Amino acid sequence: MRRSVKALVLSGTLMMAGLLSGASPASATTAAPTLITSNFACSGSICEVGPGNVGMLFAAGLDGTGGPTYYGPECNPYIMTVVSGSLPPGLQFGEPACEWTITGTPTRAATYSFTVQLTPQPNNLGQPAGPSGTQQLRITIGSGSSDRLVIKTAAYIKFRLYVQGFDVNISALYSVYLTSTGKLIIPARSNSGSLNGFLALTASVPDPCGTNNSCSLTVKDSLASSVTVTLPPAKY
């Protein structure tokens, strides 16, 4: 499953179709790429990637869109670099597994501002990468329970409940309740296996809503954040 915080506009299928049709580097657009910021809280031109917390594992994936439509064999079509400012102490910026991430354990509470530059990879004929784009980012590190929990989708399919979202505090514990009754659906569990802040909770449970009905679920975490979402009718 492709994680939501890193959905690329160009799929491998489209790329292969372009190669088979003899796509030319001339088909590349000259538009500057932009950072996908749908999982961040943006105000004006600055996006808050956090907040995080001192001593708690932090992970956020960065991805881009736009730029060239034809590139080389690299698994990531962009080169990303921090060109100004600095990350919070304890966090690192890198590309460990074909995606750009900010990961680590923050050690000092403060607000840190920095700018990331996206440069398209040169195409596989070695021709120029095209223009670059930049995005101003900010990470606020707290000393207690700072959090921004985002729940994007929920579904009950073939007797399994799926709840997906985003949270950079990947060592927080998450529980899911049936909102109307307070019944615990998914007991507290960690999301520490995530490398990019993508939250994925799944469990085999009886249909919380009853057949052909929808209901509301509340996701709570150990940082005192909670989000209520609608669970559509079950699919069997």
Domain encompassing residue 198:
150-231
Average pLDDT over residues 137-154: 96
Are residues 71 and 91 both part of a single domain? Answer: yes
Are residues 180 and 89 both part of a single domain? Answer: no
Nearest to 178 by CA among 218, 213, 138: 218
Question: Is residue 236 a part of any domain in this protein?
Answer: no
Are residues 172 and 221 both part of a single domain? Answer: yes
Last residue of a domain, one of 142, 175, 195: 142
Are residues 126 and 225 both part of a single domain? Answer: no
Average pLDDT over residues 153-159: 96
Query: What confidence score (pLDDT) does residue 193 get?
Result: 76
Give the C-alpha separation, 151 to 110, whole Å. 26
Are residues 49 and 70 both part of a single domain? Answer: yes
Are residues 129 and 198 both part of a single domain? Answer: no
Are residues 62 and 93 both part of a single domain? Answer: yes
Q: How many domains does the chain have?
A: 2
Query: What confidence score (pLDDT) does residue 189 get?
Result: 93
Q: Global pTM?
A: 0.82
